[in-house]
Amino acid sequence: MNTRPPAPETQPAKLRQWLEDLPLLNSELSVGAVLEALTCFKQYALPGKKRLPLLHLYRGRINSLFYAYNTPSFQHGIRGREVVRRQLGELCVILEQAYANILDTPGFEVSETLATLYCALEQSTHSLRHTFRTYGPIPEGIHQHINGYYLKAENQGLLYTPVQIGARPERHENISAMYKQLMLLTLADPFHLPEGEAMQAFTFLDRYGAACRMKQEFSTAPQSGIFFIDLAGNTPPLPAGRMQFQEPTVRAFDINPMVRAATRDIINQDASLKHRIVAEQARWLLKQFKPHLKAQPFQRENRRHSKRQTGLVIGLEMVRNSLESKNLVARGKLWNIVEESDCGYRLSHEDKPESTLAVGELIALVETRGNRGYQLALTRWQRRNPNGAISLGVEKLVGKVQTATCILKGQPSESVPCLYVQEEGKQAYLLVTRRRLKEGLEVELRLADSQRTFRLGKPGSCSPRIDGYGIPTSE
């Protein structure tokens, strides 16, 4: 089968047939082929009136690939998972740029503005959601694009106009609904959510996003459940202490109506099975937003500029093996420590690396001078800068660290490598690669100088890649 269209294909019927003929069970081939074709098409000069229907055809296939990404059939047989992850993100970015370019095309029909704005915002939304679900770097300028599309729709009175492209209404009712749904997801701290939960949460946040309010007139004092968005800026919703209010493009994002709607859903949980399901979603939502519902002034942690460099040892098992062999040697190029505080660091890599890190990964920082030894940490955020370099935020893990092994009781051949951490005056805990162990298992913990047997409790909230299990104080 020919996986490459006669580039670029400008006949809608032929392009539709080519896209439909791509092998559904070979996602690796399909993603690469669509990326090559769309890249070529974007560079091809074509009037906006003819370009838009072709982009809609690409959009249909790309949306199918986006929503299928986490399914077993999509993941089956993929050899270059990192390549496919990156290519799918690139597809969303390129398609978004193609729609954005149409808005500035001479002779573009005003009647198509709503659909074009909607599709551009949709693909930016996909790009950010793909980052959240794969714990990758936040694309450069993504929030500026998202905020800008909302502002354009607001200026043209298109925020609440229903969108229909083709025969069916769109997944999101209008531009305002999609935007507020995404803002809620960014506030739910998606990089800390377990694998797959950010995508699941987004599906029911439409119910609550519609309840939120965007206000042009507001008080600038810190208030419970009130955030601020500069629609001309490159930031997500921020608390009052982190926002400059001089710009006329600043809006207040009020999530208090969402809280009231979620509370009502919990009260009505006994009405039917559907109400019970919605109530569970509402409980999850209120739990995630609890830290945001306190009207306190924002206090930024004291940070210090730095000019040191560090190497990284990446991954729990790599760190553990290095500690056990007493040979903690970093691989790859050095990172610059740009800022530091009592709780963590901001790192930067100026050589535009193709990052192999994921948010939530355990790392060891091995500094190259000053004989500082090593520092264990968890990656908490990752961002791609305008120059293509990577910025990385990491949180320090404090305490004495020992290498350890867990032997499953009754299965002596089943051993799980882990790290034992004891912070002074606090309960000791185990760090284990996510899903290697589970609640209720009886394990024998082996340290260098001791061993003990106990039953695992519920893992604590550590990171999307690492589980943390508390060690019982008594056997």
Q: How does pLDDT run across 103-137, given as a tens digit for each residue?
A: 877 666 667 899 999 999 999 999 999 999 999 88
Residue 400 CA to residue 397 CA, distance in Å, equals 9
Q: What is the pLDDT of residue 355?
A: 55
What pTM did the predictor assign?
A: 0.83
Q: What is the pLDDT of residue 88?
A: 94
**Is residue 3 in a domain?**
no
Last residue of a domain, one of 209, 243, 277: 209
Do 329 and 424 fall within a single domain?
no
Do 382 and 406 fall within a single domain?
no
Do 41 and 95 fall within a single domain?
yes
Q: HSE, CB side, 13 Å, CA atoms: give it for residue 349.
A: 22
Contact yes or no for 466/432 (Cβ under 8 A)? yes
Tally of domains within the chain: 4
**Is residue 299 in a domain?**
no
- What's the gap between Cα 108 and its chain centre? 34
Do 218 and 79 fall within a single domain?
no
Do 66 and 205 fall within a single domain?
yes
**Is residue 4 in a domain?**
no
Q: Which residues partner with 420 through β-bridges?
A: 402, 430
Do 26 and 162 fall within a single domain?
yes
- 152/223: higher pLDDT: 152
| Residue 315 phi, psi dihedral angles, 5° rounding | 100, 140
Q: Which residues partner with 461 through β-bridges?
A: none
Do 161 and 196 fall within a single domain?
yes
Q: Structural domain of residue 263, as residue ranges?
A: 213-292
Q: What is the pLDDT of residue 169?
A: 63
Which percentage of the chain shows pLDDT scores above 70?
92
Region 142-146 average pLDDT: 96
**Is residue 276 in a domain?**
yes
CATH number (domain holding residue 359): 2.40.10.220
Q: What is the pLDDT of residue 54?
A: 92
Do 35 and 128 fall within a single domain?
yes
Residue 459 CA to residue 416 CA, distance in Å, equals 15
**Is residue 66 in a domain?**
yes
Supply the mean pLDDT for the chain. 86
pLDDT above 50 for 139: yes
Q: What is the pLDDT of residue 372?
A: 59
**Is residue 331 in a domain?**
yes
Last residue of a domain, one of 292, 319, 346: 292
Last residue of a domain, one of 370, 396, 422: 396
**Is residue 298 in a domain?**
no
- 334-392: per-residue pLDDT in tens? 899 999 888 899 999 887 666 568 888 999 998 766 555 788 999 988 888 877 788 88
**Is residue 390 in a domain?**
yes
List the single range of 40-54, 152-166, 215-229, 413-427 with lowest mean pLDDT. 40-54
- 7-18: per-residue pLDDT in tens? 577 888 999 999
Residue 375 CA to residue 363 CA, distance in Å, equals 8
Do 356 and 234 fall within a single domain?
no
Q: What is the pLDDT of residue 474?
A: 56
Q: What is the pLDDT of residue 354?
A: 60
Q: Which residues partner with 393 through β-bridges?
A: 346, 381
Do 201 and 64 fall within a single domain?
yes
Region 252-276 average pLDDT: 92
- 437/149: higher pLDDT: 149
Do 170 and 287 fall within a single domain?
no
Residue 136 CA to residue 381 CA, distance in Å, equals 8
Do 205 and 240 fall within a single domain?
no
- 270-281: per-residue pLDDT in tens? 888 999 999 999
List the one residue out of 311, 339, 316 whose CA is nearest residue 405. Answer: 316
Q: What is the pLDDT of residue 119?
A: 95
pLDDT above 70 for 48: no
Q: What is the pLDDT of residue 125?
A: 97
